[in-house]
Structure 1
Amino acid sequence: MALLCATPNYWDEPTDSQFNPWHVLMYWWWYFPPSFQCPHDIQRVGPISDGGKWICGMSLYEEKPRASCVIYSFGINHETHFEGEMLDRTDCEIFAYDASVSDMGPDVEGRPRVHFKPYFIGKKDKVDDHGVVWKTLKSLMKENGHDWIDILKVDIEGSEFPTFDAIMDDFGEVLPFSQLQMELHVREDFISFPNFLKWWERLESKGVYPWWTELNLNPIYSGQRAWASEYCFINVRGGKKNLLIQNQV
């Protein structure tokens, strides 16, 4: 009771400007738990550490023919255990992008069905002052001749918020992927809590819901707050393009 009296503004309908979830009993992430369930089998692909992902319906991808299985991966940084295992277990084709490296990691380098370009994904197409190429998801899919992505993997160190705002602007009410594997970074210099809440609600309004979350503990080990967390999302839209909802359409 003493603690509650000492911080009344956090419990008496605080305004957005007053509210800071880092300073109350619950961490930021506790306000955004998984709200959905994967309707298929769930399997870990990659290591039980940073870089591994929980995949919804992995057995479905293992059964799919190569021509219709597409993975986009943004943010490589030579950590390609996930991509390597997907190549081993499926006939999926992988399109990977990261302008911070000149090639991919040893798990996939030189293997068939892998396409890599040193680009950053962003909110518009441009070449910046350092000569770095930025492309929107819409432009990359057009260049590759794709209208749907089975698995979209994103780890772009805080740039996910403006990037996904652009994706939602470009694609309207049906975002072009079956599932999204994305690490979210909520450091105060990246995004405020009110803006994150609006961004999250907008993503859910497009039919994209979280079904799994996994806290990244690396910041904690270095004495920081837990500002990064892996989220797995499923898209409930897309009709017959979306393998994960075929028994629902």
Structure 2
Amino acid sequence: MSKYEKFKIYSRASERPIRIYSFGIGDDSSFEAEMLSRSTTAEIYGFDDTVDGWGAGLEAYPNRTHFFKTAVAEYDYYDEEEKTDFLSIKSIMKKMGHDYVDLIKMDIEGDEFPTLESFLGDYAQGGQLEGKEVPVGQLVIEIHVPEKGPQISQFAGWWEKIERCGFRPVWSEANLLAVTVGDGKPCCFEQKHLVGKGKQG
């Protein structure tokens, strides 16, 4: 069982499919396969510019999986060198025609900080959507802390911004892969947040 597969899926709208966004897929689609096997109404939208499609295990769900060779980022731009579209979460939701996402799984190697800060900034104090419900029910994030990453004060501010938008941490687990097969130094951990207010709360 992967680090994400123990989570139940909650949806606020029984009349439509459960929407799951998966940012950062690589060659492992075990999370997506597990979510689809647990819910007959779940549909997964995957975004990753480093691979050409899903990993093994999703062959039985062709109508409920949607892959896009696109990267999620802080803001929209096109990388000429890599020939890749980078889109914000807000722009991706608009492109998909979605006004709400039940669960976002994010494993994007350090870019989770600016990407989430940009998305949640609209709903934080002073943002153009301050006071409105964030259109996401759950966040499951692999948080990477590079050697030259954010200072503790910066990380605390990022964390507080997530909480001010209504999310509450409900689970955390150290990812020790780098310790066992890497350079011996822990570099990331898994974190799950649930909306603590609004329609989901």
Alignment TM-score, normalising by the size of structure 1: 0.70
In structure 2, runs of 5+ residues without a counterpart are 124-128
1:198 Cα offset (Å): 1.1
Cα contact 2:5–2:34 (8 A) shared by 1: no
| Secondary structure class of the residue paired with 1:54 | coil
1:98 Cα offset (Å): 0.3
Q: Are 1:114 and 2:74 an aligned pair?
A: no
Cα contact 2:5–2:35 (8 A) shared by 1: no
User: Matches of 2:147 and 2:195 in 1, distance apart?
Assistant: 28
- Provide the residue aligned with 1:92 in structure 2: 42
- Provide the residue aligned with 1:78 in structure 2: 27
1:223 partner amino acid: D
Q: Are 1:67 and 2:67 an aligned pair?
A: no
Q: Are 1:162 and 2:127 an aligned pair?
A: no
CA RMSD of aligned residues (A): 1.9
- Provide the residue aligned with 2:190 in structure 1: 230
Which structure carries more helix by proportion? Answer: 1
> Structure 1, residues 149-182: CA drift from partner, whole Å, max 9, x if none?
1111000000000001110124444322111100
| Secondary structure class of the residue paired with 1:104 | coil
In structure 1, runs of 5+ residues without a counterpart are 1-46
Taking every aligned residue pair, what percent have the same amino acid on both sides? 33
1:227 partner amino acid: C
1:68 Cα offset (Å): 3.7
Structure 1 segments, 4+ long, off by >4 Å, are none
Which of 72, 75, 80 pairs up with 1:124?
Answer: 75
| Secondary structure class of the residue paired with 1:67 | coil
User: Matches of 1:53 and 1:117 in 2, distance apart?
Assistant: 22
1:237 Cα offset (Å): 2.9
When Rg is computed on C-alpha atoms for both structures, the one with the higher figure is: 1
1:53 Cα offset (Å): 3.5
- Provide the residue aligned with 1:136 in structure 2: 88
Q: Cα–Cα, structure 1 residues 188 and 104, in superposed 2: closer, same or farther, change >3 Å? A: same
Aligned residues: 189
User: Matches of 1:168 and 1:113 in 2, distance apart?
Assistant: 27
